[in-house]
Structure 1
Amino acid sequence: MATPSLSEDTAKAVLRQVEFYFSDSNIPRDDFLKKKISESEDGMVSLALICSFSKMRGHLNLKAVKADDVPEVTLKAVAETLRTSSSLKVSEDGKKVGRSTDLLDPDEMIEQLDSRTVAASPFEYNVQREDVEAFFGKYAKVNSVRLPGHVTHKKYFCGTALIEFSAEEDAQRFLEQSLVFAGAELELKPKKDFDALREEEEEAADVGDYDSNVEEKYPKGLLVAFTLKSISAGDSQEQNVSDELTKEGATGSEQKTTENDNDSKEKIDDKHKSTASVYKDDMNVVLREDLKDVFQKFGTVKYVDFKVGEDKGYIRFDAPEAAQKARAAAVLAKEGGLVVKNFIANLEPVTGDAEREYWSLLRGNQEKHRENKRFQSRLLRGGKHYKGGKHARGRENDSSRGRPNKAKRSGSA
């Protein structure tokens, strides 16, 4: 029964929170609390210290107080509440709290914990722990729910929730279920599979720490891959746009040849420069500007990696949170994705090898571009400083060596 100092709701929240702190679910991975327990002769911890934890301060409406500053009346009320627990014990003076049972071997505890834990995804970036717990709690008793952060951006939820059930049998049963949360079908897998993937991501994130020549570090969680599908017929963006651009004479790199192939190509090149203005209001042609307009509502869009006429591309945000918001919105949308003109953009996260390869190719292209600029700069400096004499080179030679594309076009005209 709640004491007069704590409301019923507060007493329930406090009891549940402290029981979790000392539970088999938390102790194995809570190094701080585990250390405090091991340092105590009776295995109990200062109740004032427990009340100074951030979640407890929230339940008790305390400000950012230290353990020594927790009000005495609050400690007494919490102690009385905790005495109703079957898994906790409180000292006679109400100053300390601990487990009512001894700790198992840490490795054994973790093994048991993992056996009854299921990894479920995807969840929206701002999902609440209580909502996930209530959802799974309809089917079986849930001990705890964890929302781990990204490997390199800990403060951002990674999209996979870890649900610990009270029994291993319940966890095994859930792995065979087909469940839908907030409109998204959940992928359920054992925690050991999640841990294995996590380990790979951590190793990839650490690459470069010990040898800068192996691979540069790259930002994580900023990319979203998309595929465009026609709303009306389910056709791809590439097919529809290619046909349309062919009629107008402006297309990407896969334009079909005509009888006057060279003349047609020159017209295509000219038309391609004004594609954005020509197709701005065409609902059957998606431009980079159209994609940016849709995605920038979730955060700052750094770049839209997309060519007109294709059905796939990437959105590069400046923060992982923006990418998560976009993916969550696509999952929750009744259309099954984000609407871009007459198309639906289906989104996929870009992680692991795919993410690393993307940044590697991008940096490689940037380096090639910088090298080309340096090369052309050296040629220009050579032409300026070595006119005449044995080092002189004709203007034709400079043009052909420094501007190969232009020379090639001139030769084929």
Structure 2
Amino acid sequence: MSNKCYVAEVSTLPLIMTEGEVATNGKTADADKPQDMDSKIIRQIEYYFGDYNLPRDKFLQEEIKNDDGWISLETMTKFKRLASLSTDSSVHENNEKIRRAPSHPLPIFNDEVKEETMKRTIYCKGFPKDGSVSLDDLLEYFKQYGPYETVLMRHFFDKESKKQGFKGSVLVVFPTEEKAKEFKEVKEVKFKGTYLIRKWHEDYVEEKKKEIEERKARKEARKKKEEKEGEDNKEEDATEIESPKGIFIHFSGLKEGSEATREDIKEALGDIADQCAWIDFSRGMTKGYLRFKEEDYNKQVMEKLEGKLKVKDMDSELRLVEGEEEEEQFKKMKEARSKARANAGRKRKSGGRGGHFPNKKRKF
């Protein structure tokens, strides 16, 4: 018998089998339930050869052209995640090889496939960003809402530390749009006590596009305005700044001396955070103010959060800022902007950061 093995699909999920074995409801006829590590290894290989990953994986696409679709398990274990789950002795012996079952043709990866996949994908945010959550944790967690096709952790790259970080959000790809809709319509979804924000992936992408376009438009408008008004008009009196109504919310009830930061408060706002322009708060304080970008947006926030905001393990109370209190907040905002403009003007006149040290030589 050949030392090659193949990926055969059962229902909508692939199953790893060696040639000559018989599939019985997702198990081999003479095999016991695989150990946890074996299950993880099989699941990872199934992902590599599955409908979602293989059409998108350029490296595997090139490899399967060389040997009628077969790839050695020695090559597979060089993949970072599979390498972390396995050892040479436990995964590839006797030069075994693996491939996707020819009876299940590979989907053509085109715009139609991208669009169809997006329609059954849910964006999910609210997971810890501190490194305490692994992909295995997430795969296990989403089993209760399955079956799912895959779970993709979203990462960012920190240029300073040159390390990847977890954004706290994932994309969950379900086998059908109906299954995705079922998950989307679950009333409450929590992970370790934290409510998860769920959106259709398509809606999330459109929101981000809109944000980028609006940010670009504001930047261009600001640039044109500065060019038109000239250098002197940049330092206009703070009293001339427009004062839209309904943009402030007061929060209180945090523990005195707590380690909560502005970043923690912004994270607690969830998808509302994108509309928050400023948080007037310092570590150790029990209360502060939220300032939003759009007029009368504070009422929408109050309605959505039902007057409460959970920051870490603390419950804070929210209330609208109106009347004299609102005028006082506008005054503080204008003073801060005026001070920032004045500082910027001094830097320009002194030649920027190096202007205070005219005799200091620059190093190149």
TM-score (norm 2): 0.51
Taking the aligned partners of 2:251 and 2:195, their CA distance within structure 1 comes to 20
Deviation, 1:306, is 4.3
What pairs with 1:40-119 in structure 2 (closer than 5 Å)?
40=66, 42-60=68-86, 62=87, 70=88, 74-76=91-93, 94-100=96-102, 101-107=104-110, 108-119=112-123
More helix by percentage: 1
Task: Give the RMSD, CA atoms, in angstroms.
Answer: 4.9
Amino acid at match of 2:107: L
Counterpart residue number, 1:130: 136
Q: Residue type of the partner of 1:369?
A: N
* Residues 152-191 of structure 1, C-alpha deviations (whole Å, 9 max, x = no match): 7782222222111222211122222212313233332211
The Cα offsets for residues 125-156 of structure 1, whole Å up to 9 and x where unpaired, read as 14333333333322331221111124877822
- 2:55–2:106 Cα contact (<8 Å) kept: no
* Aligned residue among 305, 325, 343 for 1:369: 343
Instruction: Name the structure 1 match of 2:316.
Output: 344
Query: In the alignment, does 2:246 pair up with 1:229?
Result: no
Code of the aligned partner of 2:289: K
1:21 corresponds to which of 48, 72, 75? 48
3-state DSSP of counterpart to 1:178: coil
SS in 1 for 2:99: strand
TM-fit CA distance, 1:106? 0.2
Are 2:206 and 1:179 aligned? no
> CA, structure 1 residues 130+366, in 2 after alignment: closer, same or farther (shift >3 Å)?
same
The letter for the 2-side match of 1:129 is L
Contact 2:157/2:164 (8 A) holds in 1: no
Indicate the SS of the match to 1:189: strand
- Structure 1 pair 229/20, CA: closer, same or farther in 2 (3 Å)? same
- State the Cα distance separating 1:111 from its structure 2 match: 3.2
> Are the counterparts in 1 of residues 149 and 173 from structure 2 also a CA contact under 8 Å?
yes
Classify 1:147/1:375 alpha carbon distance in 2 versus 1 (closer, same or farther; 3 Å). closer
Whole-Å separation in 1 of the counterparts to 2:37 and 2:168: 29
CA distance in 2, matches of 1:184, 1:58: 29
Q: Which residue of 2 aligns with 1:405?
A: none
Cα deviation 1:93-124 (Å, max 9, x = unaligned):
62343344221110243333222211122222
Please identify, of 99-108 and 198-207, the stretch whose mean Cα deviation from structure 2 is larger. Answer: 198-207
Aligned counterpart, 1:192? 202
Unaligned 5+ residue runs, structure 2?
Answer: 1-27, 218-222, 225-247, 265-278, 292-307, 319-335, 352-364
TM-score of the two chains, using structure 1 as the length reference: 0.46
Unpaired runs of 5+ in structure 1? 63-69, 78-92, 208-212, 215-225, 232-236, 238-282, 299-303, 315-333, 347-361, 378-413
Asked if the contact 1:46–1:95 (Cα under 8 Å) also holds between the matched residues in 2, the reply is yes
Q: Do the aligned partners of 1:28 and 1:110 also contact (CA within 8 Å) in 2?
A: no
Aligned residues: 240
Greater share of residues in strand = 2
Q: Percent identity?
A: 24
Contact 1:24 1:109 in 2 (8 A): no
Higher-Rg structure is: 1
